[in-house]
């Protein structure tokens, strides 16, 4: 009796085994990405920055808690809405939960990159690409930050995968444009700088799946943008499609003094910058303020096209710089908070320097073999273009990292020695200095103090300001913040010492004189307060609060006509509601028995009637 002999394994069995191995590899990639991200988040829990947010992260968090502003959005609104939803589910503000959810999102990004890489160059290349994204230090860092970069990466990777699979998805052809349009619409409300990448992907989608389906993508994508624009128009006239910070972001990177403006940080100089549309351009609405900065940037391009072009090239090179350019804080500061980031994120250029080199070699190989990975290439170029058009920063560049990994993965499996020389120009670009100084640690401490003040923790804020002062004893911004918090703590005499120091460091800044005047008023030094506030109005005629405080001291001295003139001028230069100005005006009306309308129709009294 013959024994049954199993048939030899055929191609189908080999395919099933390969698919099982790929699924096992996907699980390993997911677990690796999740482990690294959650580990970095948990390691950083002892950092003050983990508990007290700064700058944009603090603004997003605060907006999520207190609600949308009653004016056009200053920043794109989707990320605060996401935070608000997470906090509602958690039953209260929980930044740790947000960081953990973004860690999960980052692990899913690694999975999507692996799947996309498989379509471009096979299972091994796909898994290698997914592992590279899982190990990417900048992505791990941003997955742990309360910033929209993490969600932006996920949306762009998802959109790229949808475009890559569009041509072969006829059975679900209408699902694809609807999903792609939703991704693009979400990107517009989250990170409008991704519009360049979205536009390029839309063109590829139209080529692969037809113009009618591309039209559906556009119609779906513009629905949320039109909705937000209509909401903004309810508060003020003028067009603000998403948020009105676009104009100033464009101007920061497009003016004759670009190295200075791109290095401006929140504080005295930032306040002077955002005041320019009202003071110089007579802007009355947020739309006009944003338009002012766009016009200034375009005038520079027309007036000095050579310098404008030079700046574009400089910004393009800086966007490819090996270093991560911080905006909210220095990303490399996180290396001291997490051993994971200490290994996977290094200021010498790890991992972006080898990534750019690998992508250049891979692109050369795919061009030579005529199998260019157009989808990730277009996505990466779109993201990098945004840095050249506006200004380079790590969180704008982060969504390009998965796309660059895919370009490298698609080409390295086809690489020959003749492709390697293309690493030289890539290496040269990556080594060009960005010209943007890193965010110092003392500035982060200052911004933590500012956030603590807004949450009514002035005593704790003072500690961070004093820490910053030890590191930066010649910073007018630190002296100013420290003096102001001392006023809030009822220590006006101490505040005067620091504010006089701020005035000595920045005598040209009206806000330093204004704050000194407020402190002297608290100390009942009326003449000193009048002198400082008069200097403040002289240094910055467009500061409505300086005029309001000046009017307050004038009223303290019984000079109501002079106070009224200051209030009228303040109302002329600032046409929105301002609580300091409103309080001063109410006090003036109470003591004079006249409203602004009454005063505008009367001749001001002179002589002793001023008392």
- Which residues are paired to 350 by β-bridges? 346
Place of tokens 């690694």: 110
The torsion angle over the Cα atoms of residues 382, 290, 56 and 147, rounded to 10 degrees, is -30
- pLDDT for 600 equals 45
Q: Which domains does the chain have, with CATH numbers?
A: 13-239+322-430 (no CATH), 246-311 (no CATH), 440-540 (1.25.40.10), 542-611 (no CATH)
Q: How many CB atoms lie within 10 A of CB 568?
A: 17
Phi, psi dihedrals of residue 350, rounded to the nearest 5°: -95, 125
- pLDDT for 575 equals 83
Among candidate residues 309, 242, 202, the one with its CA nearest the CA of residue 78: 242
Q: Strand, coil or helix: what is 346?
A: strand
- pLDDT for 342 equals 97
Cβ pair 563, 547 in contact under 8 A: no
pLDDT digits (tens, 9 = 90+) for 554-578: 999 999 999 999 999 999 888 888 8
Specify the DSSP class assigned to residue 203.
H
Place of tokens 């923790």: 457
Phi, psi dihedrals of residue 63, rounded to the nearest 5°: -65, -40
Among candidate residues 20, 76, 53, the one with its CA nearest the CA of residue 232: 76
- pLDDT for 605 equals 36
Which ranges of the chain have pLDDT less than 70?
1-10, 167-172, 594-611
How far is 332 from 336, CA to CA, in rounded Å? 8
- pLDDT for 23 equals 94
- pLDDT for 50 equals 84
Cβ pair 186, 78 in contact under 8 A: yes
Percent of the chain with pLDDT over 70: 94
Q: Strand, coil or helix: what is 350?
A: strand
């Amino acid at each position: 009796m013959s024994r049954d002999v199993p048939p030899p394994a055929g191609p189908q069995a080999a395919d099933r085994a390969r698919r099982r191995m790929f699924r096992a590899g996907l699980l390993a990639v997911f677990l690796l990405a999740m482990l690294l991200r959650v580990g970095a988040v948990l390691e950083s829990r002892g950092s003050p920055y983990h508990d007290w947010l700064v700058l944009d992260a603090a603004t997003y968090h605060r907006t999520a808690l207190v609600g949308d502003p009653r004016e056009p959005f200053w920043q794109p609104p989707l990320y605060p809405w996401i935070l608000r939803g997470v906090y509602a589910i958690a039953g209260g503000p929980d930044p740790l939960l947000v960081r953990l959810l973004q860690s999960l999102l980052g692990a899913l990004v690694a999975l999507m990159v692996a799947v996309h890489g498989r379509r471009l160059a096979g299972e091994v290349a796909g898994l290698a690409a997914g592992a590279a994204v899982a190990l990417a230090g900048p992505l791990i860092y941003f997955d742990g930050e309360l910033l929209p970069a993490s969600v932006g990466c996920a949306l762009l990777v998802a959109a790229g995968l949808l475009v890559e699979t569009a041509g072969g998805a006829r059975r679900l052809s209408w699902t694809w444009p609807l999903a792609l349009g939703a991704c693009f619409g979400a990107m517009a409300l989250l990170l409008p700088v991704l519009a360049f990448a979205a536009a390029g992907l839309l063109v590829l989608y139209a080529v692969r799946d037809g113009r009618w389906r591309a039209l559906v993508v556009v119609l779906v994508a513009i629905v949320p943008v039109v909705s937000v624009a209509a909401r903004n128009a309810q508060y003020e006239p003028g067009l603000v499609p998403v948020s009105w910070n676009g104009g100033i972001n464009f101007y920061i990177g497009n003016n004759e003094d670009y190295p200075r403006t791109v290095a401006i940080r929140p504080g005295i100089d930032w306040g002077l910058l955002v005041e320019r549309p009202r003071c110089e351009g007579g802007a009355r609405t947020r739309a006009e303020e944003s338009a002012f900065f766009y016009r200034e940037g375009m005038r520079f391009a027309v007036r000095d096209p050579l310098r404008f072009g030079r700046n574009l090239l400089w910004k393009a090179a800086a966007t490819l710089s090996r270093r991560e350019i911080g905006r909210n804080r220095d990303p490399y500061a996180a290396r001291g908070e997490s051993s994971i980031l200490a290994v996977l994120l290094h200021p010498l250029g790890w991992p972006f320097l080898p990534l750019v080199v690998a992508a250049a070699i891979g692109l050369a190989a795919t061009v030579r073999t005529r199998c260019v990975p157009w989808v990730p290439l277009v996505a990466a170029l779109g993201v990098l273009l945004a840095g050249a058009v506006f200004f380079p920063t790590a969180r704008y560049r982060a969504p390009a990292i998965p796309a660059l990994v895919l370009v490298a993965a698609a080409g390295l499996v086809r690489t020959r020695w003749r492709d390697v020389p293309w690493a030289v120009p890539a290496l040269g670009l990556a080594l060009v200095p960005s010209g943007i100084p890193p965010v110092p640690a003392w500035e982060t401490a200052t911004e933590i103090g500012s956030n603590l003040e807004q949450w009514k923790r002035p005593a704790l804020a003072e500690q961070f300001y004093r820490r910053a002062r030890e590191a930066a004893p010649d910073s007018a911004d630190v002296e100013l913040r420290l003096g102001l918090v001392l006023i809030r703590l009822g220590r006006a005499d101490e505040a005067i010492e620091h504010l006089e120091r701020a005035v000595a460091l920045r005598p040209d800044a009206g806000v330093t004189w204004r704050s000194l005047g407020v402190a002297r008023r608290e100390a009942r030094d009326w003449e000193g307060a009048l002198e400082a506030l008069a200097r403040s109005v002289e240094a910055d005629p467009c500061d409505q609060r300086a005029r309001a405080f000046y009017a307050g001291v004038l009223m303290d001295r019984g000079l109501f006509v002079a106070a009224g003139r200051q209030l009228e001028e303040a109302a002329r230069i600032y046409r929105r509601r301002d609580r300091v100005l409103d309080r001063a005006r109410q006090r003036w009306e109470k003591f004079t028995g006249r409203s602004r309308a009454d005063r505008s129709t009367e001749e001001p009294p002179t002589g002793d009637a001023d008392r």
